[in-house]
Amino acid sequence: MDQRNKTLALAGLFVTAMATLSPSIANAESSKSSGSTIQSGKASWYGPGFHGKRTASGERFDTNELTAAHRTLPFGTRVRVVNRKTGQSVVVRINDRGPYAHGRVIDLSRASAQAIGISGVGSVELAQL
Protein backbone atom coordinates (compact mmCIF):
# COMPACT_ATOMS: atom_id res chain seq x y z
CA MET A 1 0.00 0.00 0.00
CA ASP A 2 1.49 3.35 -1.00
CA GLN A 3 1.68 6.36 1.37
CA ARG A 4 -1.39 8.10 -0.09
CA ASN A 5 -3.58 5.02 0.39
CA LYS A 6 -2.25 4.56 3.94
CA THR A 7 -3.12 8.18 4.73
CA LEU A 8 -6.63 7.78 3.27
CA ALA A 9 -7.16 4.54 5.20
CA LEU A 10 -6.09 6.18 8.47
CA ALA A 11 -8.33 9.17 7.80
CA GLY A 12 -11.25 6.81 7.19
CA LEU A 13 -10.56 4.99 10.45
CA PHE A 14 -10.42 8.30 12.32
CA VAL A 15 -13.77 9.45 10.88
CA THR A 16 -15.34 6.09 11.73
CA ALA A 17 -13.97 6.20 15.28
CA MET A 18 -15.24 9.75 15.82
CA ALA A 19 -18.68 8.82 14.51
CA THR A 20 -18.96 5.93 16.94
CA LEU A 21 -17.78 7.85 20.00
CA SER A 22 -20.38 8.77 22.55
CA PRO A 23 -21.68 12.32 22.02
CA SER A 24 -20.64 12.97 25.62
CA ILE A 25 -17.01 12.27 24.79
CA ALA A 26 -17.20 14.43 21.70
CA ASN A 27 -18.69 17.21 23.83
CA ALA A 28 -16.02 17.12 26.54
CA GLU A 29 -14.57 20.60 26.24
CA SER A 30 -12.58 23.28 28.00
CA SER A 31 -15.32 25.78 28.76
CA LYS A 32 -17.77 26.76 31.44
CA SER A 33 -21.07 24.92 31.47
CA SER A 34 -23.94 26.11 29.37
CA GLY A 35 -27.11 26.47 31.37
CA SER A 36 -27.52 27.33 35.00
CA THR A 37 -25.54 25.73 37.78
CA ILE A 38 -27.73 23.47 39.90
CA GLN A 39 -25.06 22.45 42.39
CA SER A 40 -21.40 22.93 43.16
CA GLY A 41 -19.05 21.11 45.46
CA LYS A 42 -16.63 18.21 45.51
CA ALA A 43 -16.59 15.33 43.04
CA SER A 44 -14.73 12.07 43.27
CA TRP A 45 -14.60 9.00 41.08
CA TYR A 46 -15.47 5.41 41.77
CA GLY A 47 -14.96 2.22 39.89
CA PRO A 48 -12.51 -0.27 41.36
CA GLY A 49 -14.59 -2.96 42.98
CA PHE A 50 -17.85 -1.73 41.41
CA HIS A 51 -17.15 -2.46 37.72
CA GLY A 52 -19.71 -4.97 36.45
CA LYS A 53 -21.95 -4.75 39.52
CA ARG A 54 -25.52 -3.51 39.41
CA THR A 55 -26.15 0.19 39.97
CA ALA A 56 -29.18 1.54 41.81
CA SER A 57 -30.85 1.97 38.40
CA GLY A 58 -30.45 -1.75 37.72
CA GLU A 59 -27.87 -1.50 34.95
CA ARG A 60 -24.34 -2.84 35.23
CA PHE A 61 -21.71 -0.28 36.18
CA ASP A 62 -19.03 0.28 33.56
CA THR A 63 -16.17 2.45 34.75
CA ASN A 64 -15.35 3.23 31.09
CA GLU A 65 -18.73 4.90 30.40
CA LEU A 66 -19.58 8.53 31.04
CA THR A 67 -21.90 8.00 33.99
CA ALA A 68 -22.22 9.24 37.55
CA ALA A 69 -23.92 8.73 40.88
CA HIS A 70 -26.03 11.49 42.42
CA ARG A 71 -28.18 11.43 45.55
CA THR A 72 -31.41 12.86 44.14
CA LEU A 73 -31.37 13.50 40.37
CA PRO A 74 -33.58 11.07 38.42
CA PHE A 75 -31.88 8.18 36.63
CA GLY A 76 -31.14 9.08 33.02
CA THR A 77 -30.65 12.78 33.77
CA ARG A 78 -27.82 14.27 31.76
CA VAL A 79 -25.57 16.64 33.67
CA ARG A 80 -22.67 18.80 32.53
CA VAL A 81 -19.88 18.54 35.09
CA VAL A 82 -17.29 21.33 34.98
CA ASN A 83 -13.92 21.06 36.73
CA ARG A 84 -13.67 24.49 38.39
CA LYS A 85 -9.87 24.34 38.40
CA THR A 86 -9.37 23.63 34.69
CA GLY A 87 -12.67 24.65 33.09
CA GLN A 88 -12.91 21.26 31.36
CA SER A 89 -16.39 19.77 31.17
CA VAL A 90 -18.05 16.46 30.40
CA VAL A 91 -21.67 15.39 30.02
CA VAL A 92 -22.58 12.39 32.16
CA ARG A 93 -25.73 10.32 32.63
CA ILE A 94 -26.96 9.64 36.17
CA ASN A 95 -27.35 5.89 36.67
CA ASP A 96 -26.52 5.32 40.35
CA ARG A 97 -27.04 6.73 43.84
CA GLY A 98 -24.32 8.33 45.91
CA PRO A 99 -21.87 9.67 46.75
CA TYR A 100 -21.73 8.36 50.27
CA ALA A 101 -18.53 10.20 51.21
CA HIS A 102 -19.24 13.29 53.31
CA GLY A 103 -19.13 16.60 51.46
CA ARG A 104 -19.28 15.19 47.92
CA VAL A 105 -22.02 16.13 45.45
CA ILE A 106 -21.32 13.60 42.68
CA ASP A 107 -19.36 10.40 42.09
CA LEU A 108 -18.01 10.08 38.56
CA SER A 109 -17.04 6.98 36.64
CA ARG A 110 -13.31 6.72 35.97
CA ALA A 111 -13.80 7.78 32.33
CA SER A 112 -15.86 10.83 33.36
CA ALA A 113 -13.28 11.94 35.91
CA GLN A 114 -10.43 11.48 33.44
CA ALA A 115 -12.28 13.52 30.81
CA ILE A 116 -12.16 16.58 33.08
CA GLY A 117 -8.79 15.96 34.70
CA ILE A 118 -9.86 14.72 38.13
CA SER A 119 -7.69 11.96 39.54
CA GLY A 120 -8.91 12.06 43.15
CA VAL A 121 -11.27 14.73 44.43
CA GLY A 122 -11.98 17.94 42.54
CA SER A 123 -14.15 21.03 42.80
CA VAL A 124 -16.99 20.98 40.26
CA GLU A 125 -20.14 22.72 39.11
CA LEU A 126 -23.14 20.74 37.87
CA ALA A 127 -25.64 21.93 35.25
CA GLN A 128 -28.67 19.82 34.37
CA LEU A 129 -29.24 19.49 30.62
| pLDDT at residue 121, as a whole number | 95
Q: Which residues of the chain have pLDDT under 50?
A: 3-33
pLDDT of residue 115: 96
Using DSSP, state whether 21 is helix, strand or coil: coil
Structural domains in the chain, CATH included, are 23-128 (2.40.40.10)
DSSP string, 53-114: SB-TTSSBP-TTSSEEE-SSSPTT-EEEEEETTT-EEEEEEEEE----STTEEEEEEHHHHH
Indicate the length of the chain as a whole number.
129
pLDDT at 43: 96
pLDDT for 102 equals: 87
pLDDT at 46: 87
pLDDT at 2: 52
pTM (2 decimals)?
A: 0.71
Angle at the Cα of 13 (from 108 to 28), degrees rounded to 5? 25
Cα 59 to the center of its chain, rounded Å: 17
Tell me phi and psi for residue 16, to 5 degrees: -65, -45
